[in-house]
Amino acid sequence: MENKNASMENGNIVSNTIGAGDLNKPFRFRGVYFKRWRQKTFFYLTLLNVAYVLTEKNPKKKKIESMTEEEISQHEKEIKKWEKDHLYCRNYLLNCLSDELYDYYDQSYSSAKKIWKALHQKYDTEEVGSKKYACSHFFRFQMVEGKSVVEQAYELQMIAHDVRSEGVRVDEQMQVSAIIDKLPESWKEFAKVLRHKQKELSIEAIITRLRVEEEARNQDKAVELNGANGTKPGHSARICRYRKNGSMAQANVTEEPLVAMITEINILDGLGGWWIDFGATRHVCHDKAWFKTYSIF
């Protein structure tokens, strides 16, 4: 009965609790991703109309000597409301912590503001070093053989997201370049092709190209182990120079008609006799009978 009366008395708060709890309740903090948790938790407490307890002073500390009776009455109502909201805020805040942290901060700090401040001082300072760790993780990441290149590209994207969450700017072209540079050794030739593309590639475009190439390589694995299709064992059918038909795979090749034009031709016929070409005529021949008209100089 007491719970029911409390629910009716604080109907707005209970209603907000249900609505906020179902959709916006943050994950339980376990010592990592503090900035993300802090932002979600403060928003959650704001929806519950108790977040002001973390930033405003307790009205009980105000002096009442100079107040009128009406102001004192209003002041007492503010104190009563603040104490009720503080109770809710403190317990909401503790419920957003893991069991281990709940026990520690519940026993160590009496007010919600002190709990909030202690969490900020401990974990926000520790995450200053996590910025360096996230950046180092991004630069040291290297794709390996035997694992899907597309999956590793997505993994690198998640690391880049962690770097951005630490306030470090990582634009799209930097991520694209990182994906290309971190491809495994067997992808170096493909990486060269991508690196020399004049048109800038988006992350979606680079991952699509990786997926198509990876699927093609997986199909080649079925034949390259046995040297099928006339290839040398261990070679890819698409690029093997030992294919029986002697042809190499070609991509993006456009066939165009061949046009040839003769610019000069010299024909020598009738090897008998001697003749001299001294540049006085266009046609030189060793037999005067072949000319229609002939004049002796």
Q: Which long-range contacts (CB under 8 A, 24 or more apart) does 142-150 make?
A: 142/182, 142/184, 143/182, 143/183, 143/184, 143/187, 144/184, 145/184, 145/185, 145/186, 148/214, 149/183, 149/184, 149/187, 149/210, 149/214, 150/207, 150/210, 150/211, 150/214
Helix, strand, coil: what percent of the chain each, to 5? 60, 0, 40
Supply the pLDDT for residue 16.
44
Which of 40, 52, 48 shows the shortest CA–CA distance to 17?
A: 48
CA dist 187 and 169 (Å) reads 28
Supply the pLDDT for residue 17.
44
Domain regions of the chain by residue span: 2-128, 141-230
Supply the pLDDT for residue 246.
53
CA dist 204 and 252 (Å) reads 21
Which of 192, 224, 223, 191 shows the shortest CA–CA distance to 210?
A: 191
Give the type of residue at 25. K
CA torsion through residues 215, 219, 221, 227, sign:
negative
CA dist 10 and 67 (Å) reads 29
Q: Which two tokens stand for residue 88?
A: 């809710």
pTM to 2 decimal places: 0.43
Supply the pLDDT for residue 190.
92
Supply the pLDDT for residue 251.
46
Place of tokens 């997986």: 218
Q: What is the pLDDT along the chain (297 residues), one digit of tens a residue?
A: 344 334 334 444 444 444 455 567 888 898 877 888 999 999 999 999 999 999 988 888 777 777 788 888 888 899 999 999 999 999 999 999 999 999 999 999 999 999 999 998 888 766 566 677 788 888 999 999 999 999 999 999 988 988 887 778 889 999 999 999 999 999 999 999 998 887 888 999 999 999 999 999 988 886 665 555 555 555 555 555 555 555 555 544 444 455 555 555 555 555 566 555 555 555 566 666 666 665 665
Supply the pLDDT for residue 42.
93
Q: Which residues contact 92 (CB under 8 A, 6 or more apart)?
A: 44, 45, 48, 50
Supply the pLDDT for residue 207.
93
Residue 232 CB neighbours (<10 A): 13
Supply the pLDDT for residue 280.
56
